[in-house]
Structure 1
Amino acid sequence: MATSRGEFSSRLGFILAAAGSAVGLGNIWGFPTQTATNGGAAFVLVYLVLAFCLAYPAFMAELVIGRYGQANAVTSMQKMSRKTWQKQFAFIVGFGGVICAGLILSFYGIIAGWMMSYAIEPAAELLGMRGVATWVVSQGDIRNILFAALFMFFTIFIIRKGVEQGIEKWSKRLMPVLIVLLLMLILYVITLDGAIDGLRAYLNPDLSRVLEPDLLISALGQAFFSLSLGTSVMVIYGSYIAKKENLVSLGAQVTLIDVTIAFMAGLLIIPAMYVAQYQGVEIFAADGSLISGPTMVFDVLPALFNSMGSIGLFVAFAFFVLMSIAALTSSISMLEGPVSYAVERHNIERNKATTAIGLLIFAMSALIIFNIEFMLDFIAMIATEYGQPIIAMLCCVFVGWIFNRSDLLEEIKHGNEDVESSWFWKIWPWYTKFVCPVAILMVFLHSL
């Protein structure tokens, strides 16, 4: 069955595709903003600990569900179920993940479109097209619709190609470009005046803050969001992994890449904020809070790039291309969730399913754009603060309480015969059964 529905052709292909899903605007945009808001280096330290101690076990739960089921999220979870109520519960959780992925993509595509428009702006300036440069960064329904449509076109184009020729092929192309651009921008920014103060704030933790409740909850939420948990994405990607692969090491490698790129994003954004502050741009309010918050990337950083003169146009172009690539590597995974469900549960041809679902999600994006003052934040809140934590928690419940323990062990032993005697097997099952659901529940209750 795995061959007919496609699977990753190599270990590297899965790692880059899963890392691409995990590495999105949540890492390169959200993580530095959360860091600046929640105590700088103290937040980074807590995030790194929680990513491996709590997010990684939940991440493994979704991968195991997928590879065991070798199908979309709903079918995979129903294969784990033995009783009628469990199958009904599996449908609710699996389909909930599909809906959550679609909702996230509907607002994510709008923000990604903004990233693309801000990448065009410096290019238009260099070509002397001042009118175009001004228009592409001006808020307006036509501009927002146009760039959301362009971004969705790229996403649909890749997913229509399938697993190996679409997701894997383009992840192998985009992820190296993303990493190289990120490294180049870091090396440039840290040479500027004020960057050392940013590095100091980012790398020198105030240990007295690491146990603050808000910081802990924010770091935990960021860890789960950045790994694409609770959206059926990793269940789908897990179903495309060959049985010969070692899931334990694969999951650890993806988690490591994810947190490394988030950390690298902080090395870029936090020093850039202090460089902007050194050059007279207002960053922090009197109480130490961020002035721009989530819109920092569109407010503070363009001001910094403008202050650099002509070289700032090249830096701005590289930065927003980086952000657009990060968005695309995540969006293709979010579209794959609903598409795989339509293809496998309703026998719809892949190209037709991809185009139809992509257009439906774009229609939702258009509805948000025409009601952007209310709907953008509302849909983002519903999907990320409510949907993701609940579904991620229920996936852990499935693995911990419904999935037969002997079947679970047999699945993990594929590609890892000695896993039964490892520390992973001694800790992970009860950790997933008790600790992860409680921790995710904490995130959800905090969001209320």
Structure 2
Amino acid sequence: MEKTRDGFKSRTGFVIACIGSAVGMGNIWRFPYMVSDWGGMTFLIPYVLFVILIGASGVIEEMALGRAAKGGPIIAFGKCTEVRTGNKKIGERIGIIPVIGSLALAIGYTVVVGWIFKYTFLALSGQLAGMGQDMDAIGGMFGTTATKFGNNLWLVVAVIVTAVIMAFGIAGGIERANKIMMPLLFVLFLGLGIYIFTLPGASDGYKYIFTINPKGLLNVRLWIFAFGQAFFSLSIAGNGTVIYGSYLSKSENVVTSAGNVAIFDTLAALLAAFVIIPGMAVGGAELSSGGPGLMFVYLVNVFNGMPGGKIVGIVFYICVLFAGMSSLVNLYEAPVATMQEKFGLKRPAAVGVIAAIGCIVGLAIQGIVSGWMDAVSIYICPLGAMLAGIMFFWVAGKDFALEAVNQGKDKPIGKWFMPLGKYVLVPLAFVALVAGAILGGIG
């Protein structure tokens, strides 16, 4: 079975694909808003600390778990309970939870990526620029798009493009697509940031980003939301990182790979902040909304009011499209792999089944996608991350965990790893679940 199993051709391809899975809507429509809302560096300090913590525990753990099991969450969880009790059935049943979570999140994400496809087309065709700064027209466009059955065509396009990429396999589809999309995303975002830097008024945005309020650091909610942003941004949910790790060879260093993912995911978020916050300052607007309102309403108005706004809009939405597609491919991979592993389907057939489910359900939930995404991200994602941590650190145990992590490393990982995972990561995943339920979402 292992001999015929697809996989990444190179370490670079694996890391880029993992970066692609982590770089998504949270980096672009939530991170800049959080930086603005919580006071620039006041938010960035705890955020970076949590990125380091999660990158050094959860990301490593999920990559290593997938590689050790050579399978998605169901096989991986089953492997953990088999190591502990000799019975893999218990773990396999529990492993269904993150697979369902991945599919549910992918379906909601499909709706959003459908919006992005539409807005990329509107930007390229000049229709966004043609609305000028007419907020009624801009808001009305998004209002009709985000309503029930309001974006059918572009949602289907999103599903088809995703399915085509995935049908070509890990190396031929996912790895190749990410090798194109991710470098272009960073180059285009960097170019956009440099251009906005030259515009009058942008300096106010930079000043705000580098502002620090020492008293603000004493706010417990700040730390909770900074943790939530880091937690969800790094995509640990017991599914996508596990399945990508399962395609990794034993000679690769997962610790180095995890560090690269954390670094580049943070760079992508910072680039977005350095584009959006100074861009809003150029347009004289306050960053008063996160989520879809920021990307599809307020930023359209800002772009249309700045010099070269049409080109800025085109580049921005292409960047967002790359970020959305790379994450969507990752989210669908766990359920696709499950269809292959548990039902013996060939990859094209497995992709077809999951794509059909994603398309049908996605079309049906267009008017309620916000509530759908909230439910999945608040409950199922942190639960999946917590279960993966419990399985790896507590159930499979120290010998299994260290052997899985140390494969491909010249020197064994430090003694800090197991205590960090057992006594910090797992409890924090529980905190993410509880805090999200109480506060209505933290990431």
Query: Could you state the TM-score of these two structures normalised by the residue count of structure 2?
Result: 0.91
Q: How much does 1:397 deviate?
A: 1.1
Which stretch of structure 1 is more off in the superposition, 291-300 or 16-25?
Answer: 291-300
Does residue 328 of structure 1 match 2:329?
A: no
Distance 1:85 1:95, change over 3 A: farther
Q: Using the alignment, how far apart are the partners of 2:296 and 2:336 within structure 1?
A: 32
- Tell me which of 172, 193, 203 is aligned to 1:165: 172
Q: Using the alignment, how far apart are the partners of 1:363 and 1:143 within structure 2?
A: 14
Structure 1 partner of 2:417: 428
Structure 2: which 5+ runs fail to align? 132-136, 438-443
May I ask how many residue pairs the two structures share in their alignment? 428
Q: Using the alignment, how far apart are the partners of 1:197 and 1:127 within structure 2?
A: 26
Q: Using the alignment, how far apart are the partners of 2:157 and 2:397 within structure 1?
A: 45
Structure 2 partner of 1:263: 270
- Tell me which of 179, 189, 192 is aligned to 2:199: 192
Counterparts of residues 213-232 of structure 1 (less than 5 Å): 213-232=220-239
Structure 2 partner of 1:346: 343
Q: Using the alignment, how far apart are the partners of 1:437 and 1:117 within structure 2?
A: 39
> Which secondary structure does the structure 1 equivalent of 2:218 belong to?
coil
Which stretch of structure 1 is more off in the superposition, 400-409 or 229-238?
Answer: 400-409
Distance 1:292 1:400, change over 3 A: closer
Structure 2 partner of 1:18: 18
Letter in 1 for 2:42: A
- Whether the 8 Å contact between 1:63 and 1:238 is mirrored in structure 2 is yes
Distance 1:153 1:15, change over 3 A: same
Distance 1:2 1:252, change over 3 A: farther
- Tell me which of 387, 394, 397 is aligned to 1:404: 397
Structural RMSD (CA): 2.2
Q: Using the alignment, how far apart are the partners of 2:417 and 2:290 within structure 1?
A: 40
Q: Using the alignment, how far apart are the partners of 1:264 and 1:2 within structure 2?
A: 39
- Tell me which of 136, 149, 160 is aligned to 1:153: 160
Tell me the alpha carbon deviations over residues 47-102 of structure 1, each in whole angstroms, 9 at most, x when there is no partner.
Answer: 11101113441111111110100112101221121366974542244211111111
Distance 1:54 1:231, change over 3 A: closer
> Which secondary structure does the structure 2 equivalent of 1:139 belong to?
helix
Structure 1 partner of 2:256: 249
Q: Using the alignment, how far apart are the partners of 1:88 and 1:438 within structure 2?
A: 25
Structure 2 partner of 1:46: 46
- Whether the 8 Å contact between 1:126 and 1:313 is mirrored in structure 2 is no
Does residue 390 of structure 1 match 2:383?
A: yes
- Whether the 8 Å contact between 1:292 and 1:300 is mirrored in structure 2 is no
Which stretch of structure 1 is more off in the superposition, 60-69 or 143-152?
Answer: 143-152
Structure 2 partner of 1:209: 216
Q: How much does 1:314 deviate?
A: 1.2
Q: How much does 1:208 deviate?
A: 2.1
Letter in 2 for 1:251: A
Q: Using the alignment, how far apart are the partners of 1:56 and 1:299 within structure 2?
A: 37
Does residue 413 of structure 1 match 2:402?
A: no
Does residue 178 of structure 1 match 2:167?
A: no
> Which secondary structure does the structure 1 equivalent of 2:335 belong to?
helix
- Tell me which of 286, 305, 308 is aligned to 1:307: 305
Query: Could you state the TM-score of these two structures normalised by the residue count of structure 1?
Result: 0.90
Distance 1:381 1:143, change over 3 A: closer
Q: Using the alignment, how far apart are the partners of 2:9 and 2:92 within structure 1?
A: 29
Which stretch of structure 1 is more off in the superposition, 235-244 or 119-128?
Answer: 119-128
Does residue 363 of structure 1 match 2:356?
A: no
Letter in 2 for 1:397: I
Q: Using the alignment, how far apart are the partners of 1:411 and 1:121 within structure 2?
A: 47
Letter in 1 for 2:18: A
Distance 1:167 1:128, change over 3 A: closer
